[in-house]
Every structure is written in structure tokens, then in C-alpha cells.
Structure 1
Amino acid sequence: MPVAFEPCRPTLLETTTTVSYPVRRVFCVGRNYEAHAREMGRDPDREPPFFFTKWAETVVNADPQDACHVAYPPETHNFHFEIELVVAMGGHAFRIDAAEAEQVIWGYAVGLDMTRRDLQLEARDLGRPWDTGKNVEQSSPMGRLVAKDAARVNGFNPGAGRITLSVDGIAKQDADLSELIWPVEDIVAHISLFYRLAPGDLIFTGTPAGVGAVVPGNRLAGAIAGLPPLEITIAPPAGS
């Protein structure tokens, strides 16, 4: 039977090998660093991290060699950066425990969870979903994915390592992966209680303190020890 229109092709992420990684789904962890939870007005001792999802179409390649431009989105005056470690699934997982998580991980990357903060906080205060604040086109830029074994050879450790973000060369976020409230293995195990994780699923693991607003023309550079960096430039709103 003919289709009404050509189906969208999956987003393909660049990797450090000759293969591409097709994105299936995007899961995100909210308030997974104590200092960030507190800067957002929350008590991490009383409110544990939680999860939300984003479209696969929000993911864009942000290798420094690719000159990635992210358009300032509409209907916001407070567009924020959030640097994060991203976990890429390589196997199937359903109701696994933390000890099994490493077996189903394909690799890791540096990512940004760009956020329309004004819309997110408005929705939060009204008890509504965060979609308009978080699920935004081009809001999930990522550096090159590295297969887990290669990442460890390069000195990457998902349990400890510096994570940083600068805007126009000025440091904004600077923390360590050891500060994650829920480490990678626990995150994967917990999400697998609710979803059947599969290859192509990405998990953004949360951002440290220091988030802030950007404007068109700003250049963002993110890095995690042992992983390829990312860079994006905030472009003017589409159509302007």
C-alpha cells in the first residue's frame, strides 16, 4: 500500500569509528547533581532525580569540525544550556539490575540539553508537563559517540571525570561525574523498570550547577574527560 508521505529517516549520530549510530529515543534525568537541584530551588535530599523524554529529532551532531548552529527557538526569552554525559544503548534491557547495565551500553558522548527555561518553569509551577520547555527542535546537540571500550582506553570513566561548559570562552559549568546522585548503572537499571530499552536509545544523565541563558552569537563548548568535545553556535531565530 502506498504511504501518504515519505517516512522520516532516523537521526544518525557521528561516532569515532566508520559507523553511524541511529537514534531511536531520548531519555533525560532531571536534577541529578545536588548543586544543580539546589540552584533550581529544590531539595535533593527530599526529591530524588526523575525522568522525562525528548524526540529523537531534537538530536544534532555538534562535532567542532562540523560548525553546528542551533537556532534560538521561538516563544522564549530565557534559553539555557545544560552540559551532560550521554549514554548510548547497544543492547536490550528490561527490568535489569545495575550490575547488568554495563553489558547493554554501546558508548558515551558529551551532550547539551538546551532548555526554554521560562516555559519550563511556567509549566512546572502550573503542574503541567515540561514539553514546551524541553522538547525543542535542535535542543540535544551531541559530540561524537565513542564505543565504551574505546572510551575507557582514552581515559574516560563514567564514574569520575571533569565535565565543563564555557560560553564565549568563559567557564560556566565545572564539575565531576562523581557528583552524579544516580550513577550511570543505576540510571539504566531504573529506566529499564518502566521501558524496554533498546539499541538507539540515548540517556542524558543530568547537568551540574551553573546553567544559564544564551543569546544569538554565543559560542558554547562542552567537554568531558576522555570524550570528544562539542561546540555549537547559537544562531538567530529561524526566519529572522
Structure 2
Amino acid sequence: MPGGRLTQQERQRIAAGLAGGLSYAEIARRLDRPTSTISREVARNGGPSGYRPQQAHRATIQRARRDTPTPLRTAGAAPSGAVEEEIIELAVRSGMPRMTARVHVDLLLSEDGRRTAAELTRRLKVSPASVSVAVNSLVQHGYVRRERDPRRRRDIYVVDDEAWYHSIVISSRQTLESAQAAMAAAEVLGLDRPVGQRLAKAGTFLERVVLDMMESADRWRPFLR
């Protein structure tokens, strides 16, 4: 049985097998590879419906480069671990729970922006329940999207460039609801009263800022594509 990494030709045959409706086991048999090799290759590169052999091959090369020990750092350069911790601290200071920040940063710094819950649990050395709470929060706020691997019946969590747009839109909509609630409360309490005037001003300010932000996000969204 051949060992080592899959070749580009093997990846093309995997794509052809998936398109032809072959099972992982049958593809593995034809390539004389373990079934686990095929299932892992497909899962980490888009799943059965999104597998692209050329992209998968490039991603593997990039991961290999990332995993290759680097030479001694230049004086003043920060190690990757320090960079990761710095980003986590920034996220925590902005109000994100630390566990959620750790999961988010691990996804952000992954080569292909994809992890399963099991991978996150193993990499971060935390409980599955902690990962579940964190990813649910990230999905809810638009930072991460959830994909389903139908063959292995598991979720894959993905962070891509469009996530920044979606997170801004979700946050803006929530703030807009608060602004509108403030303006509605102002009318109920009376616009001739100090409390009503204060709520009306705050609601109007938030509404204008949020609408400008959403318009800006739509205008600059093409840069993420």
C-alpha cells in the first residue's frame, strides 16, 4: 500500500469518484489507500460537494510549509504563539469570552479556516461542551458558519472572508433594534420630558450611525470576494 501524501493525480481521481457517487471505501480501494485517508482528505477540503482537487493540493502544500520548522527568528520578531495570544487578548478586551476568543482565533489562524469540533477540542485541550458553547456563540454572531459533512454526520466550522461582513450586519441589526426600542420608549414616556428627550436623542444617534455602517459594509463588501 503506498504511503506518503496524496498526489495531485490521486486528488483528481478522488474528485472524479465523488462526482460518480462512489463511497469513500471504493475510492480508497481504487487508489490503494486507507479509507480514513480519503475521508480525512475530503472533510478538510470542502466536503463531498465542495471538494476541488487543485485547491486541496495547494492547501496541503501550504499546510506542509506551515508545519515545517522555521529557522531562527530575526531579532524582534514575535513567535506565532505570542501573536495568537495577543489577538485573543484583544478579542477579550472587546468583550468576547476567553473560550470563544480562543476558538475564533484558532479558526482564523488555521490554513484553510476549517475545523471540526473534535479538532478544536483536541487542539485547545478543552471539553467538547466548552467548544460547543463557543462555536454556537460564534455562529450566532456571524463570525463562523456551520457546514454539515453528510457522510460522517458531523459539523464543520468555517471562517472565511465573508464572515467579517456577516458579523457586522448581525451586530448592526441588533443595535438598530435597540435604537428603535429607545425611540419607541421615548414616545411612550413623552418627548416633552427629559427622559423621553434623552432616549430619543440616543436612539436617533444609534440609528444614524448603524445605518451608515451597514451602507459602508455593503459598499466595501466586494473587497472580501
Query: TM range, normalised to the smaller chain?
Result: under 0.3
TM-score (norm: length of structure 2):
0.20
More strand by share: 1
Specify the structure having the higher radius of gyration (Cα): 2
Higher relative contact order (CA 8 A, sep 6+): 1
The structure richer in helix per residue is 2
TM-score normalised to the size of structure 1? 0.19
